[in-house]
Amino acid sequence: MAEGSAAVPSTELLEWPKKDRRRFLHAVYRVGDLDRTIKFYTECFGMKLLRKRDIPEEKYSNAFLGFGPEESHFVVELTYNYGVTSYDIGTGFGHFAIATPDVYKMVEDIRAKGGNITREPGPVKGGSTVIAFVKDPDGYIFELIQRASTPEPLCQVMLRVGDLDRSVKFYEKALGMKLVKKVDNPEYKYSIAMMGYAEEHETTVLELTYNYGVTEYTKGNAYAQVAISTDDVYKSGEVVEHVIQELGGKVTRKPGPIPGINTKITSFLDPDGWKTVLVDNEDFLKELQ
């Protein structure tokens, strides 16, 4: 074999992310008081506490919350590091979103429980969709979006990026996502791209936001990553490495099992430094049992 020819990936390999069984599993982020956040999410948002684990030897605890079982729904994975009560969210992380049939009623309920409403319910600027914004006890923003019905209420993770076209290409090529919607709003000097594995109202999407002229953001130390499922972390990892060479980014963990749990994963940063973890489908289901 000629030297260097192995570096050219096959068409079959590059098509793999589109054929793979992928979905958003969870968003991971850090909180200063686990019980306080669980109480807020269950009482104000109507989430269910799905599981909780304490790892004293590593000095942290996790709680998983969502609107349905982890086998089929996107959930939040909260991390509490012993003794750490606050974090810096940074300027790059935007918000999570929850779809609900009645935003006005949800806001009333949240307000009655002492929640912090940062934008009153009403139609989005220049549109008809009713939205509101709420801040959780750690300062994470949740957008509430009015939708008649949805199979996945936890429906968005919004991240700010410095080059929208580059990010869209990265998530299409490295993760097999589809561009489900793109909106340019010159009046307010921003553009958004919704990336996902199905239409926006059917599933969770990644909302990438580009603010005109802003190429860099601070990441802080609060939001960590999204996890996405795959049938083959090794093959997926190979694709990611190739796309990173073309568009930028960094592999932070080569494909392989996590010591102690044996779930196979790989993790990497996109060109803006946002982290994704790919998790083996079968190993993930075993972990839940």
Domain definitions of the chain by residue range? 11-149+221-288
| Span 139-160, average pLDDT | 96
Q: How confident is the model at residue 127 (pLDDT cuts 50, 70, 90)?
A: confident
Q: What is the pTM of this model?
A: 0.95
- On whether 143 is known to bind a ligand per the annotation, the reply is yes
pLDDT of residue 5: 42
Which residues does the annotation mark as catalytic?
143
pLDDT of residue 283: 96
- Give pLDDT tens digits for 175-227: 999 999 999 999 999 999 999 999 999 999 999 999 999 999 999 999 999 99
- Give pLDDT tens digits for 38-54: 999 999 999 999 999 99
Q: Is CATH 3.90.870.10 what the domain over 11-149+221-288 is classified as, yes or no?
A: no
Query: Mean of the per-residue pLDDT values for the chain?
Result: 95
- On whether 201 is known to bind a ligand per the annotation, the reply is no
Q: How confident is the model at residue 152 (pLDDT cuts 50, 70, 90)?
A: very high
- Give pLDDT tens digits for 238-264: 999 999 999 999 999 999 999 878 899
Q: How confident is the model at residue 149 (pLDDT cuts 50, 70, 90)?
A: confident
As a three-state string, the secondary structure of the chain is: CCCCHHHCCCHHHHHHHHHCCCCEEEEEEECCCHHHHHHHHHHHHCCEEEEEEEEHHHCEEEEEEECCCCCCCCEEEEEEECCCCCCCCCCCEEEEEEEECCHHHHHHHHHHCCCEEEEEEEECCCCCCEEEEEECCCCCEEEEEECCCCCCCEEEEEEECCCHHHHHHHHHHHHCCEEEEEEEECCCCEEEEEEECCCCCCCCEEEEEEECCCCCCCCCCCEEEEEEEECCHHHHHHHHHHHHHHHCCEEEEEEEECCCCCCEEEEEECCCCCEEEEEEHHHHHHHHC
Highest mean pLDDT among 2-11, 144-153, 269-278: 269-278
- On whether 187 is known to bind a ligand per the annotation, the reply is no
